[in-house]
Structure 1
Amino acid sequence: MSEFDKVPADGLLDATGLFCPEPVMLLHNKVRDLPGGGLLKVIATDPSTRRDIPKFCLFLGHELLQQEEQDGTYLFWIRTKTA
């Protein structure tokens, strides 16, 4: 269990069962819906998200706070960039 599981997220993206490029496409839309500095939790099952989501955050200026794997499920906590 992550320390972030105790913090309420401002948004949740469940990309379970989706494969590249769908999780990142949905992530792109989801971060637009959140306020700057918002906390987003992403749940995915595609192993490529371990590479794609950190690159997405780096490229667009979001902060990847935590990344972990639990039984084939990948969890990410992202702080959206502020304006």
Structure 2
Amino acid sequence: MEYTALLDATGLLCPEPVMMLHAEMRKLSAQEVLKVIATDPSTTRDIPKFCQFLGHRLLDQAQDGETYFYWIEKKQKA
């Protein structure tokens, strides 16, 4: 899947991946896509909730062993 920016949060534990995700999303323009790579299993709960709460679109998520991947589209400005 195409993406504009990459956030590698491997090796980081909650709440660091979501804090970094929040900072990276601020840098993107509306409808740009951020790919997140994480190893903390709590991201499977935290990242979808982050997207729902802030209105970003979780385009896809996948898992390969103990590595988690997320593609998040930044919401349009209100």
For these two proteins, the number of residue pairs brought into alignment is 77
1:40-80 Cα distance to aligned partner (Å, 9 max, x none): 10000000000000000000000000011001100000000
SS at match of 2:17: helix
Which runs of no fewer than 5 residues in structure 2 stay unpaired? none
Instruction: Give 1:26's aligned amino acid.
Output: M
Match of 1:75 among 69, 72, 77: 69
Q: Distance in 2 between matches of 1:38 and 1:27?
A: 14
Deviation (angstroms), 1:10: 0.9
| TM-score (normalizing by structure 1) | 0.91
Instruction: Give 2:10's aligned amino acid.
Output: T
| TM-score (normalizing by structure 2) | 0.97
Cα RMSD (Å)? 0.5
Percent of residue pairs identical: 60
Which runs of no fewer than 5 residues in structure 1 stay unpaired? none
- 1:23 paired with 2:23, answer no
List structure 1 segments (4+ residues) > 2 angstroms apart after TM superposition.
none
